[in-house]
Copies of this chain bind each other. A is one copy, B any other.
Amino acid sequence: MPAPNPSELAFIPFVSVENMMKLVHGIGLETMLRELADYIEEDFRRWELFDKTPRVASHSAEGVIELMPTSDGEVYGFKYVNGHPKNTRKGLQTVTAFGLLARVDTGYPVLLSEMTVLTAIRTAATSAMVARHLAPKGARTMAMIGNGAQSEFQALAMKAVCGIDAIRLYDIDSAATEKAMRNLAGHGITLTACATPEDAMEGAEIITTCTADKQYATILTDNMVGSGVHINAIGGDCPGKTELHKDILERSTVFVEYPPQTRIEGEIQQMPEDFPVTEMWQVITGDAPGRTDAQQITLFDGVGFATEDFSALRYIHDRLNDTGLYQNLDIIADPDDPRDLFGMLQRAAG
């Protein structure tokens, strides 16, 4: 990012939901999922550079509001995101989000963006990037347990990044499965609606669990999971919210993003504090093994980490140039003399 002059810095580009959707369609969703998976992987590769902290959460009876900051030393980013499972009953979304990038050297923001749509895309791109490293070679079938707002993005990412071409869908609410089937029709994926989770598992090399209830749930029990699969468990993502029976964790090699956060929020919150996990960035740099044999169950205990949002915002910032798909937001005061904020205010009265 070259340094713009101060008057340009008085405005920052804002990507609205409408413009984000136009940007997605301009690039093409599958292309974007592939490119974003590469951006996320690139930032995992330089993991040690990042200023990392567990997200800053404000919990209430109804849900959680979180701030997720990080920095690579040159660029700072953060996301605001909520998680309110009961929102859907009021016609609202479980998760909404927006995010920001700023220059570390001046602290001035350079991008504000909606991230409800973008988070759905980055979450799917992260899952697919991880599956590219851990799933059995030549995997073509995925079981998709939980067919809510994130499910279609997961499906397309696994297709675009990993070559999955058959998806078996299950949800406790069959209307959700029907919605996902409708949305995914015509995308070159063989779709099968399943009446039970066991049915969905049939022949699946990747199992994705993505359900939303804020409770200790057991979406998968031990006898449902055969050897050699990759489990992409992304619905257990806050304290008190899990999806897998702990026996599955005992049988699996567990991969995580950032252990201090995953131990609080992920499936491994059920396990002792020293339960062994592998950090995904080390698999990517080659410092730790990924899948080592065909019988192994690999399990990605994904909770979503700040660097993934950083990667997504960085991608949007890079792709925004010349598209015109943003508004300039007058969010930074820009007095002619930086010490004369009061003078600027006073002159505005005239």
Listed in ascending order, the chain A residues whose CB lies under 8 Å from chain B are 5-6, 9-10, 14, 16-18, 21-22, 24-25, 29, 51, 53, 56, 58, 60, 62-65, 67, 69, 71, 73, 76, 78, 80, 82-84, 87-88, 90-94, 96, 98, 100, 102, 104-109, 114, 116-117, 120, 148-153, 176, 179-180, 182-183, 329-335, 337-346, 348-349
Contacts and interface: CB of A to CB of B under 8 A. Distances in A.
Contacts of A82: 102, 106-108
20 contacts: A6-B91, A21-B348, A22-B348, A25-B348, A65-B69, A78-B80, A82-B106, A82-B107, A87-B107, A88-B339, A96-B108, A98-B109, A117-B333, A117-B345, A120-B342, A149-B340, A149-B341, A152-B342, A153-B342, A179-B337
Contacts of A106: 62-63, 82, 84, 87, 90, 92
A176 B339 contact: yes
A338 B88 contact: yes
Given A60-B71, A153-B341, 8 more contacts: A58-B71, A80-B102, A82-B108, A93-B332, A96-B332, A114-B331, A149-B338, A179-B337
Contacts of A29: 345
Nearest to A67: B67
Nearest to A19: B330
A282 to B, nearest CB: 24
A346 to B, nearest CB: 6
A148 B335 CA distance: 13
A117 B10 CA distance: 13
Given A90-B6, A338-B88, A332 B114 contact: yes
A257 B105 CA distance: 29
Interface centre among A9, A87, A109, A340 (most CB of B within 10 A): A340
A73 B87 CA distance: 17
Nearest to A16: B330
A58 B6 CA distance: 23
Contact of A117 (B71, B100, B329, B341): B341
Nearest to A82: B107
A317 B88 CA distance: 26
A68 to B, nearest CB: 10
Nearest to A348: B21
Nearest to A332: B96
A332 B9 contact: no
Nearest to A59: B51
Nearest to A96: B332
User: Closest 6 interchain pairs by CB?
Assistant: A82-B107, A152-B342, A116-B333, A16-B330, A21-B348, A149-B341
B58 A51 contact: yes
